[in-house]
Amino acid sequence: MLFPGSMRIKSGPLKSGVETEVAILEARGLLPPPPKELGAGNLVELLRTGVLRVEIDPKFPQALGISSILQQVATFGNCQWEILINDFDHSPFFTSDFPVAVEETKDWRIVNRIMPLAPNLAVRIKPDLTVDTKHADFSFANFGWRRKGISYKEVVEINRLVVRCAEETVFCPVDSPWVQKFVARNRHYRVEPNTNKLPKGTGFLQVSTERIARVNGSA
């Protein structure tokens, strides 16, 4: 994704990766000790206390996203898609300046993507870990879809996810007092990167996913 919010989110795993590399290199004695003036004996401690910070130029994850567009097309094009039909005219789908809602699943490694396309139409893309994403398959042999009518409760939940994934702005095709109250209840959230470091051999396996987290700011 190339939205501004994606640039922020994708910077998180890169930052965590640099910090992990620093810890590994320092543990192997491949980095010189930091200056004594900084008040700590190693770089890991300086990073932990915030004296030293890793900053990622957001243009870098944007460039990575641009260069991987075809790979993303192949990946999402080989997933299972659900075409979600909203028959509740009084409660249309919302959208936002980050128009892709993330939905947690029972597998912590997987998040579904929900994209409202119209007030009564949305798509849920369900990633499949068994698909080989390293080799692009533009025949889309693993693609599948089904049409699904959803309940009013499901419509509300999808709209809740949309609002909570928004960066700053939520769009709704109806102007009603309940819309303002609904947005107000769910505005203090946004998508954040969630990185898990799993020990592997002499280093770590870094697994990054996206999660909705409460924040002090608001949309």
> Is 137 a residue whose pLDDT tops 50?
yes
Q: For 22-81, what is each residue's pLDDT tens digit?
A: 888 888 888 888 888 888 788 888 888 888 899 998 888 888 888 888 888 988 999 999
Confidence of residue 4 (pLDDT cuts 50, 70, 90): low
Domain boundaries of the chain, sorted by first residue: 1-67, 79-219
Kindly report the CA angle at 61 between 58 and 106, in degrees rounded to 5? 115
Average pLDDT over residues 10-26: 85
Q: Please give the backbone phi and psi of residue 31, each rounded to the nearest 5 degrees, phi first.
A: -120, 140
> Is 1 a residue whose pLDDT tops 80?
no
- Greater confidence (58 vs 83) lies with 83
pLDDT of residue 35: 87
pLDDT of residue 71: 86
Confidence of residue 203 (pLDDT cuts 50, 70, 90): low
**CA-closest candidate to residue 174, choices 185, 161, 164, 183:** 183
Contact residues for 111 (Cβ-Cβ < 8 A; gap 6+):
102, 103, 104, 105, 127, 209, 210, 211
Q: For 92-135, what is each residue's pLDDT tens digit?
A: 999 999 999 999 999 988 899 999 999 999 999 999 888 887 78
Average pLDDT over residues 191-203: 78
Instruction: Determine the 3-state secondary structure of 10 from DSSP.
Output: helix
**CA-closest candidate to residue 114, choices 155, 78, 75:** 155
Kindly report the CA angle at 85 between 183 and 122, in degrees rounded to 5? 55
Instruction: Determine the 3-state secondary structure of 11 from DSSP.
Output: helix
pLDDT of residue 219: 46
Average pLDDT over residues 4-8: 77
pLDDT of residue 218: 45
Q: Please give the backbone phi and psi of residue 56, each rounded to the nearest 5 degrees, phi first.
A: -105, 130
